A = this chain, B = another copy of it.
Amino acid sequence: MNKYKSLSSRELVSMDKNVRIRMLNMLSGLRTAYLIGTCDIDKTSNLGLFNSVVHIGASPALLGFIMRPVHVRRDTYCNILETESFTLNAIHPDFLERAHKASSKYDAAVSEFDMVGLTEEWRQDTPSPFVLESRLKIGLGLQEILDIKSNDTKLIIGRIEHIFIEGENIIDADGHIRHEELDLIVVSGLEQYYSILPLERFRYKN
């Protein structure tokens, strides 16, 4: 393996902290970036950018994401505890720059929707706000919170209550979602965004 750059755990520890954080955030690879919409009991809204959304199961329909340590104020976390609700909103190239701004920290009293220039969308059957501009939105109820002891992060699990997908022809009759037609974006770490190109489809045999 002499063509390979090799890094041991010892070398990782001795790296500059910011370099290590950037590299390790990118090392897990690429994934769809979602804006998570929440609000407190007074309907003050919040928007956060997350890259750790993961499929947990289909029966019941569950999605999860990783929440960083809550020693410091995390509005998304506090709001989810208060309302037992959150929304996932996919991002697209036409509002990528605005969406990225939601990864910065803002005062609890201000709404990230206003700060970044995206539009709140309230629906009768979901306590949390959706992002009007998103073409793939999911409303979830809080299902389970797991404490990750190794580093004080949490796995937050929600059960899917509503799905909204723009266009009648994005989901095929067999359940296949044509993400490329939704212009879905993937992100590596916290900074580098990519678009996607369909490559191949193989059948999955369970």
User: Beta-carbon contacts of A167-193 to B below 8 Å, as 1s and 0s?
Assistant: 110110111110110001110111111
Number of copies: 2
A111 within 8 A of B: no
A1 within 8 A of B: yes
Q: Chain B residues near A71: list those with CB within 8 A.
A: none
* A65 CB → nearest B CB, Å: 8
List chain A positions with a Cβ less than 8 A from chain B: 1, 3-9, 12, 15, 17-32, 34, 51-64, 66, 90, 93, 96-97, 100, 103-105, 121, 123, 138, 143-144, 146, 148-151, 153, 155, 157, 159-168, 170-171, 173-177, 179-180, 184-186, 188-206
**How far is A4 from B1 in the complex, measured between Cα atoms in Å?**
50
**How far is A57 from B152 in the complex, measured between Cα atoms in Å?**
9
**How far is A180 from B197 in the complex, measured between Cα atoms in Å?**
12
